[in-house]
Structure 1
Amino acid sequence: MESKGLKPFNWFALFNLFAQVICLKDLHVSVPEAVAVGDRVTLSCFYDLENAALYSVRWYFENEEFYRYVPKEQPPTRVFKVFDIPVDVQKSTEHRVVIRSVTRSHSGSYMCEVSADAPLFHTESSSGTMLVADLPKSEPIITIQGMTGMESKRFVNRHETFKAHCTSGPSHPAVNFTWFVNGIKLPPTHFGLRDTNDFLNAVSMTESWSELLVQVDNHILTPSNRKLIVRCETNIYSLYRGAAQVELFVLWDPREAFWHDGGKVSPTIDQRGNRGDPDNSPLTGGVANHHRESLIFKFKHNLIDTIQSLVATLFFSVLLVML
């Protein structure tokens, strides 16, 4: 009877089983997607050591080590001067790194590397990318072109096509634009960028603008509502939101425009946004009020002309008597 030989013991399988039981796992990082210049930022590194002891935690920016935590050393934290990253050592631990104030130069990739202690020294790493943004210093500005009316009013004709122009101040990156007319979201017609420089901080910035062509039709207008609210919204991620809007009155009969001092044209009107009070248009009253104002103005003008004529006649009469 033939006896079967014993299979050799699989030490490699046992080693792998042992490593899986006591080694670190589930490592991941939390790196903000976008922050503003000057923000205080926390980078977090999460991991499960199971039954293993921690040997070290290292943080890298663009593959350069700038922070190290080794629990067996005293002090356990160590900071390396890389890209002038201002680490707050008192607030930083084996699970997080706190940066006191970020600049544009701190945009990039951050990696956390964790190593378990002897005998395996198992090492894992995970990374994330952060953008440091320069936000606009002011709200966007809307300019409306192709309108008729007096300077203090805003009018467009029914079926007219006008252009709304929205400009945002310098920023990095450029803002995103979103247009609304009477609450209806519309895609922009044109979009442009212009590079500029912040000489004080020696960084490049971008001015951005967007245009929207609007046709006054039944799609955005109803007979019971003769107003158009044109709104431009800007944003950079969730860091910044700006808005500007202008309220227009629609003339259903083009002759209505000539009730206002002969139909003078105001080719451009600027409307600055107000985040706290977006409905800041000076448009008040209806067409009847506008007509009444125009009649009063003409009456005063004619009265002044009459008085001036009477004074001139009286003066010449007195002069003739004296001669």
Structure 2
Amino acid sequence: FSVAGLKLTEVRIPKYVVKDSPAQLECLYDLDGEALYSVKWYKDGNEFYRYVPRDMPPAQPFLLPGVIVDLHNSSDATVTLRNVNLQSTGRFRCEVSGEAPSFQTVTEHGDMIVVFLPDQGSPKISGGRPRYQVGDYVKVNCTSGRSKPAVELSWQVNGEPADKQKLRKYNTIVEGRDGLETSVLGLQFRVEQRHFRNGDMKLKCIAELSSLYWRSNEESVEGDRPQKAPALESRETAYASNSRADPVQAGSTAPPSSTPPAPLLLLVVSLAVVGAVATLAQGIAQDIDVFKIPMDRTATGGMAKGDPEARELLAGREEEKRSARPGKSEAQLGKITLSAR
């Protein structure tokens, strides 16, 4: 804005300033032959700095919440603010007035925002899985740290900006005495084969605030590919080869043999032999009893060897043996009788 003679050439007010840092405000003017009466600065309509060349000292600050003037680094064209805070945010206006008799006045303003950078570093990605298959749905959220104002969030898939249709915007979360803000941006889409590059899919969230802040976080997820059939068969074959069965016989489709196992057959034969030996031993023992009868009788003095009574007794016992052992042959019985005699 300008009038004849006096004019403002430029007003420089930084748009963003990081909290606790200094801010420099500039008001450049051209008197065009006029004498300078004053330069005044206002924040949201309240004067906080005045420069009058005729006054001593010419620079004078005024108390205002959120505004601390650094007089050592301030002049008619520049005002420096120290340690700005969130209350320093507002509209700043410069007003330049000429000397009498015209007292021409020109003014210009600009907005300054004090930035509280995110207090938790890079943005956080949540809801993701380590692996995805084609057809699965990706549903992830990106959350920034608390800041003032809220940061701008964006998504990239494999280095390319995500389609706006896949973004899910949520309301900004405001908390605390200073009204710090948390931004949340969701990303949802169905996985396709084109999303995998060399078997991986990269999801990247970017948080930025003008030129003062830029952070990103990236997650790389793998494609969960199904196993190929040959590989599966190979593992099964390896497992079978570790068993006690012959791999060739294991793969055969012929029915199992009906021949009893060798250990069982050997057991049956052994039992048969033992049974036969026991029967033979029993017969021999009974034969020995036949011999003992006359000998016992002789030993006790009851009958002599050639006694008819003894022969008759032996003949009766022989008859009993024949009826008790039908399996004995006549030749065997004859041998027994002959021996007894």
Give the alignment's TM-score, normalised by structure 2. 0.62
Q: 1:254 aligns with which of 217, 226, 242?
A: 226
Note if contact 1:140-1:169 (Cα within 8 Å) is conserved in structure 2.
yes
Note if contact 1:164-1:214 (Cα within 8 Å) is conserved in structure 2.
no
> Aligned pair count?
227
Q: Distance in 1 between matches of 2:169 and 2:179?
A: 23
Matched, 1:226 2:199: yes
Percent identity, aligned pairs only? 32
Q: Distance in 1 between matches of 2:190 and 2:47?
A: 57
Show the counterpart of 1:81: 63
Task: Provide structure 2 residue ranges, at least 5 long, that are not aligned to the other structure.
Answer: 240-341
Matched, 1:160 2:139: no
- Could you list the structure 1 runs, at least 4 aligned residues long, displaced by more than 4 angstroms after superposition: none
Note if contact 1:42-1:97 (Cα within 8 Å) is conserved in structure 2.
yes
> Highest Rg: 1 or 2?
2
Show the counterpart of 1:181: 157
Q: 1:35 to 1:140 in 2, by over 3 A?
A: same
Show the counterpart of 2:210: 237
Q: Distance in 2 between matches of 1:247 and 1:230?
A: 6
Matched, 1:95 2:77: yes
Q: Distance in 2 between matches of 1:84 and 1:180?
A: 39
Higher relative contact order (CA 8 A, sep 6+): 1
- SS across alignment from 1:166: strand
Following superposition, the deviation at residue 179 of structure 1 comes to 0.3
Following superposition, the deviation at residue 64 of structure 1 comes to 0.8
Q: Deviations over 1:13-36 (max 9, x none)?
A: xxxxxx83xx21134311111112
Note if contact 2:134-2:193 (Cα within 8 Å) is conserved in structure 1.
no
Instruction: Kindly report the root-mean-square deviation, in angstroms, between the aligned alpha carbons of the 2 structures.
Output: 2.4
The residue correspondences of 1:42-81 to structure 2 (distance < 5 A) are 42-81=24-63
Task: Provide structure 1 residue ranges, at least 5 long, that are not aligned to the other structure.
Answer: 1-18, 148-153, 257-287, 300-323
Q: 1:140 to 1:235 in 2, by over 3 A?
A: same
Q: Deviations over 1:29-56 (max 9, x none)?
A: 1111111211200000011111112111
Q: 2:170 aligns with which of 184, 191, 216?
A: 191
Which structure: greater helix fraction? 2
Give the alignment's TM-score, normalised by structure 1. 0.65
Note if contact 1:192-1:210 (Cα within 8 Å) is conserved in structure 2.
no
Which structure: greater strand fraction? 1
Note if contact 2:126-2:141 (Cα within 8 Å) is conserved in structure 1.
yes
Following superposition, the deviation at residue 84 of structure 1 comes to 4.6
